[in-house]
Amino acid sequence: MTHENEPPPESKLTRSKERWAREGKFLTGKTSRPEDQRLPPGQHLTRDWPTLDLGLTPNISRERWRLDVYGAVEKPIFWDFAQFTAQPQSKFISDIHCVTTWSRYDNQWEGLATRDLLDTCRPREEARFVVLHSHDGYTTNLALEDFAAEDALLAHSWSGAPLEQEHGGPVRLVVPHLYFWKSAKWLQSIEFLAEDAPGYWEVRGYHNRGDPWAEQRYSGD
Ligand SMILES: Nc1nc2c(c(=O)[nH]1)N[C@H]1C(S)=C(S)[C@@H](COP(=O)(O)O)O[C@H]1N2
Ligand SMILES: [Mo]
């Protein structure tokens, strides 16, 4: 993982990160694993990249795309694509684990780290959950700690090229430590909430959290 922009030596950004570190906020329990334990239980490795969605492929150009961040935040955001890419850029390499049992290693993503987004929008004290809203009507929910994982980002590029429309371009969320249904494609808005609000698959029998290492595939697992 590399973080390309050097943050200023001291800012409200670094101060809030220090505070989170003190409070143990956003800890996901993620640890680096030896290679033979890299594949979560019940998963198999694939080299291609399957497309999974509701059967709609919203056609949103980078010119028309906007990001709306609202709800329990000190500073709501409404960015066009140029404003979005003017934010600090991160490049993360991570594995994909889909609940339908395929996994794909070493995906190279580029975009805005969710932690950098949080430094800008500043969730209010009561904010505990995040709901992602997408252009196809899809929604998915995350605990704030999961959204804020150190390798989670709002990605506009994959393998050095603009993220393809079928994979959620212009911008999708990527949360590598959870099953891939949490990684909303065609991202439209991000809502911060005090109470949890299960999304499209979460109200249709999928697990509310979706940790692949604990095989949290379906509710009741
Ligand atoms: N907007 C939106 N995001 C979505 C979905 C969807 O239907 N709509 N499907 C989810 C599911 S179930 C999976 S497995 C991944 C698939 O991403 P991919 O098509 O890039 O492999 O996107 C997730 N994000
Ligand atoms: Mo999925």
Has residue 3 been placed in a domain?
no
- The total of structural domains in the chain comes to 1
Confidence at residue 138, expressed as pLDDT on a 0 to 100 scale? 98
Atom of ligand 1 nearest to the CA of 53: 7
Pocket probe mutation, ligand 1, options 54, 183, 206, 218, max atoms within 8 Å of Cβ: 183
Residue 154 lies in a domain: yes
Report whether residue 214 contacts ligand 1, using a CB cutoff of 6 Å: no
CA of 64 to the centre of ligand 2 (A): 27
Q: What is the pLDDT of residues 19-70, one digit of tens each?
A: 555 555 554 445 567 888 899 999 999 999 999 999 999 999 999 999 999 9
Ligand 1 centroid–CA 171 distance in Å is 12
Within a domain: residue 98? yes
Looking at ligand 1, which residue's alpha carbon is closest to its atom 16?
52
- Asked whether 206 lines ligand 1 (CB < 6 A), one says no
CA-nearest residue for atom 24, ligand 1, is: 184
- Does any domain span residue 218? yes
In this structure, is residue 48 part of a structural domain?
no
Cα of 206 to ligand 2 centre, how many Å?
Answer: 10
pLDDT of residue 31: 53
Residue 49 belongs to a domain: no
In this prediction, residue 221 carries a pLDDT of: 82
What spacing in Å lies between the alpha carbon of 167 and ligand 1's midpoint? 7
42 in a structural domain:
no
State whether the beta carbon of 145 lies less than 6 angstroms from ligand 1.
no
Determine the pLDDT at residue 119.
98
pLDDT at 163: 98
Containing structural domain, residue 207: 63-221
Q: Where residue 118 sits, what CATH number does that domain have?
A: 3.90.420.10
* pLDDT for 1: 44
DSSP character string of the chain: -EE-SPPPSS-HHHHHHHHHHHHTTT--------GGG-SPTT-EE-SS----SSS------TTT-EEEEEESBSS-EEEEHHHHHTSPPEEEEEEEE-TTSEEEEEEEEEEEEHHHHHHHH-B-TT--EEEEEETTS-EEEEEHHHHT-TT-EEEEEETTEEPPGGGT-S-EEE-TTS-GGGS-SSEEEEEEESS----TTGGGTB-SS--GGGT--BTT-
Decide if 176 is inside a domain: yes
State which residues of the chain have pLDDT below 70: 1-32
